[in-house]
Structures are given as structure tokens and as C-alpha cells.
Amino acid sequence: MLIRSLTLATLLAIAGTSFAADGDSPLDMDKGRARPLIVIAPSTVDPTWVSLKKSLDEPANRKGFTDRNMVLYTVLNLMGQRDGKDLGPQDTAALIRSLKLGAGAKTKVILVGKDGEKKLEQSDAIKLEDVFSAVDQLPAAEKEFTATVAAPVTEAEPAAKGAKGTKPGKPAKPAKPPEMPDD
């Protein structure tokens, strides 16, 4: 009995961590909708972050940012924010984990496309114009990805599930698990 309990506990621990790692990033909610721009800096007075923030405060640049469906994520001093709203510690850690950055104390600026893939990653100073040009040069495939994600359900899909006029079958009862002998 003890062996079964330990085996079950081990399986649950392994399965629990693997399920928790899948899809817990805040970037998942922006997939297909927005292009996240992520700035990870060791402090709030980092020169790269300060210059980028100053550029974003200009009205013309802010309009260009929103016109390109971009969202700003910042991780400053391990405190995460999405468009100025705080993220929890778990969401911040999940964001960093999903980017697969590795160790490093340098400032990183990362542009993620609507398809969820990294489009630009830079460790030194970057201008907002460079980010805008990277977005403008994205392939048409990313634009098609957005169209397929937002496509409405067609009439052909419900017909494929079952023929019209037929009766749906009953769901099967789950099988009874075999009894295990006691140790």
C-alpha cells in the first residue's frame, strides 16, 4: 500500500508541474490579438528603459504603438507590469520563463509577434523607430494568422459533426478500473 501511495504522489508531482508550465504565461492571452513589446531591466533608471519610456510618452509614438496593436510589458526590479497595470509574482515569473532568456543582468527588449514567436530581441539600446520598422516588416503570414484566429465559425463546421436528422449516440460509461491486490 505504501508503494502505491508513493508512486501516486510522484506521478501527481510530475504531472502537476508539467501542466502548470503549459500555457500559464500572460503572453498567451495576447496571442493572435496583440504584439507584446517586453522590456526587462535590472532597475527603473536603466538608460535603455528611460529612453524607450520617453519615446513612448510622445503622442505620435503612442499612436503608432496602438495602431500596430502593441502591448507593453515591463519587468523592472523583478516587478512585472502590462500596460502600466501590475502583474502578480507568479505571472511575472511565468512571463520570464516563457521567454527562455537564460541568465543575464543586461537589459533586454523583446518583440513578440501575434503568432507568439520572438520577432526581435536586443540586449543594448534600441530606438522605438527600430521596433516600429520591425513590426512593419513582419511577413504577411503573421497577418494571415491573425485572420484565422479571429475567423468566425462557418456553416460547414456544424454539419461535419453529424449528419442532419441522425440521432446522436449515448456517451459510453467509463470502464471500471481493475482491482489491485494488497501488498
| Domains, the chain, ordered by start | 22-149 (3.40.30.10)
Question: What is the pLDDT at residue 26?
Answer: 83
Please check whether residue 37 is in contact with residue 110, taking contact to mean a CB–CB distance below 8 angstroms: yes
Question: What is the pLDDT at residue 116?
Answer: 84
Band of residue 19 on the pLDDT scale cut at 50, 70, 90: very low
Question: What is the pLDDT at residue 155?
Answer: 44
Give the integer Cα–Cα distance in Å for 129 and 120: 13
Q: What's the mean pLDDT in 28-44?
A: 87
Residue found under cell 502578480: 88
Q: What's the mean pLDDT in 60-89?
A: 88
Question: What is the pLDDT at residue 157?
Answer: 45
Give the integer Cα–Cα distance in Å for 181 and 49: 63
Q: Share the mean pLDDT of the chain.
A: 75
Band of residue 24 on the pLDDT scale cut at 50, 70, 90: confident
Q: What's the mean pLDDT in 10-34?
A: 65
Rounded to the nearest angstrom, the gap between the alpha carbon of residue 154 and the centroid of all alpha carbons in its chain is: 27
Residue found under cell 499612436: 63
Closest CA to 131 of 82, 76, 61: 61
pTM for this predicted structure: 0.62
Give the integer Cα–Cα distance in Å for 11 and 17: 10
Question: What is the pLDDT at residue 11?
Answer: 52
Q: What's the mean pLDDT in 111-121?
A: 86
Question: What is the pLDDT at residue 115?
Answer: 85
- C-beta atoms surrounding 126 within 10 Å: 21
Question: What is the pLDDT at residue 103?
Answer: 65
Give residue-wise pLDDT tens across range 136-164. Answer: 887 755 555 544 444 444 444 444 444 55
Q: Is the pLDDT of residue 83 over 80?
A: yes
Q: Is the pLDDT of residue 53 over 60?
A: yes
